Amino acid sequence: MEEKIVVTGGKPLQGKIKVSNAKNAVLPILIASLLGDGESKILDVPHLTDVDTTCSVLQHLGQEVARQNGHIMIRTVEPTSFEAPYQYVRRMRASFLLLGPLLARYGRAKIPLPGGCAIGSRPINLHLKGLEALGAKVNLEHGHVEANCRRLKGAQIYLDFPSVGATENLMMAASLAKGQTIIENAAEEPEIVDLANYLNAMGARVKGAGTPIIKIEGVKELLGTTHTPIPDRIEAGSYMVAAAATKSDLTIENVIAEHLKPVISKLKEMGVQVDEHESSLRIRPGEEELKAVDIKTLPYPGFPTDMQAQMMALNCICKGTGVVTETVFENRFMHVDELKRMGAKIKVESRSAIIEGVKNLSGAPVKATDLRAGAALIIAALSTEASTEIGALEHIDRGYDNIVGKLQEVGASIERIG
Ligand code: EPU
């Protein structure tokens, strides 16, 4: 029988929930460890299938990977293979980030084209354009990207769009290139800053991460180091929205509030009370019924696309009409049909979803169409007394560490069956 999450909601959550460290920081950092000589230790890594996939792909390349008490140790050796198998890249697009480090350190790499995925076509043209500017010879053949180079050479690169992955791939590659690289219109996400901090701790010279212009002075070699990744702002945001949807008084720990500004601001606009503390946030219900809000996703520091589905679920039970516009991915509305199965009133017009709030959603069998859609459905299910069954859990397992256990601990009636 297919595994399912069964939720019977309609009651407030209570207490404290601790956020894990960020998936989207950990994955590039694990891959960046390839750049360094010796051992890297990445501390407090979340238990996620995407992390397992990354470890498997590193092992496939011949690297020594060990896991202990939630930490991951990687000892780099001369790779036994320079090719990432399709089985991994297909499962996890972040495997494409291997291209930059392998090229920069060993001058060769072969990675299958990741292809489209549920949320959009997700091309890799910006990664390739940047690596070519650094001197790589790139061939696209038989569904693979094959790239070679002598030592990469610093260059000035303008990204047409501030792609997170392209910025990361280029920052890693440029760290071992000869001379200076300037990435303009770079992504500014906190995960980019975390990767830059990790690279700098390895001996790289990266400046300006977190701004649209990143300058990298290439160095000859990098050394393994120890690093604790930043907290997961999207996991935190998901629990904040779950608290709002259940009118709960919930404290969320291991949070950097600065990273959550657009989410905090939208929740306050809806009428949720958010108290910011040193490394935690307390969410409390406001006096009035929650109001629907308009949301437009944008690259950081704009509203994150990775929180769009969860906020849409909340808008479904707010008073009034809210318009959610997705500008980052072209097809990230697959949760709409699932939310509609639960009684939501949503109309999609091009890149916008118009949501007319209803008093209550009803339970229904639904499926997680992607990772964040899965979180949105759990939130919708927690808001209603009816029982909801959520399938396709492999998506949720990619990015939420023990979501069922964490929600049980704050009093949710949620279980995994099958
Ligand atoms: N794009 C291009 N060309 C490129 C690269 C990207 O046109 O060469 C386009 C994409 O098609 C997309 C947009 O640029 O429309 C943004 O893509 P980006 O490269 O910024 O995204 P990513 O690096 O593939 C990361 C996260 C995603 C998150 C996005 C946007 C990781 C492992 N993944 O993806 O996380 O949605 O940035 O913030 O860091 C998730 O965690 O659920 C997730 C999908």
Shared-domain flag, residues 365 and 341:
yes
User: In the listed set 198, 227, 256, which residue is the last one of a domain according to the structure?
Assistant: 227
Which residues constitute the domain of residue 334? 4-20+231-417
Pocket test of ligand 1: the residue of 31, 126, 164 to mutate, having most ligand atoms within 8 Å of its CB, is: 164
* Pocket around ligand 1 at a 6 A CB cut-off: 24, 27, 93-94, 120, 122-127, 161, 163-166, 187, 305-306, 328-329, 371-372, 399
Shared-domain flag, residues 218 and 265:
no
pLDDT level of residue 121 (50, 70, 90 thresholds): confident
Tell me, in angstroms, the distance from the centre of ligand 1 to residue 165's CA.
Answer: 6
pLDDT value at 133 more than 90: yes
Shared-domain flag, residues 16 and 27:
no
Shared-domain flag, residues 220 and 242:
no
Shared-domain flag, residues 171 and 250:
no
CB-based contacts of 90, cutoff 8 Å, min separation 6 = 112, 114, 115
Q: What does pLDDT average to over the chain?
A: 96
> How much is the pLDDT for 404?
98
> How much is the pLDDT for 122?
80
Shared-domain flag, residues 78 and 55:
yes
Tell me, in angstroms, the distance from the centre of ligand 1 to residue 24's CA.
Answer: 10
CB-based contacts of 337, cutoff 8 Å, min separation 6 = none
Shared-domain flag, residues 31 and 162:
yes
d(Cα 19, Cα 236) in Å, to the nearest integer? 6
DSSP string, 172-233: HHHHTSBSEEEEES----HHHHHHHHHHHHTT-EEE-BTBSEEEEE--S-EE--EE-PPB-H
Shared-domain flag, residues 176 and 251:
no
Query: Of all residues in the chain, what percent carry a pLDDT higher than 90?
Result: 95
pLDDT digits (tens, 9 = 90+) for 30-52: 999 999 999 999 999 999 999 99
Tell me, in angstroms, the distance from the centre of ligand 1 to residue 395's CA.
Answer: 16
Shared-domain flag, residues 9 and 63:
no
The closest-lying atom of ligand 1 relative to the alpha carbon of residue 187 is: 20
pTM of the shown model: 0.98
User: In the listed set 227, 259, 275, which residue is the last one of a domain according to the structure?
Assistant: 227
> How much is the pLDDT for 115?
67
The closest-lying atom of ligand 1 relative to the alpha carbon of residue 163 is: 20
pLDDT digits (tens, 9 = 90+) for 364-385: 999 999 999 999 999 999 999 9
CATH number at residue 235: 3.65.10.10
Shared-domain flag, residues 110 and 199:
yes
pLDDT level of residue 3 (50, 70, 90 thresholds): very high
Tell me, in angstroms, the distance from the centre of ligand 1 to residue 33's CA.
Answer: 21
Shared-domain flag, residues 190 and 89:
yes
Shared-domain flag, residues 192 and 255:
no
What integer is the mean pLDDT of 264-275? Answer: 98
Whether 318 is catalytic: no
User: In the listed set 212, 227, 242, which residue is the last one of a domain according to the structure?
Assistant: 227
Would you list which residues are annotated within the binding site?
A: 23-24, 93, 306, 328
pLDDT value at 166 more than 70: yes
CB-based contacts of 348, cutoff 8 Å, min separation 6 = 333, 336, 354
Q: Measured in Å, how far apart are the chain's first and last C-alpha atoms?
A: 6
- Select from 91, 95, 61 the least CA-distant residue to 78: 61
Catalytic residue among 117, 149, 316, 318: 117
How many domains would you assign to the chain?
Answer: 2
pLDDT digits (tens, 9 = 90+) for 195-212: 999 999 999 999 999 999
> How much is the pLDDT for 1?
80
> How much is the pLDDT for 130?
98
- Of 32-36, 88-92, 284-288, 366-370, the one with minimum mean pLDDT is 88-92
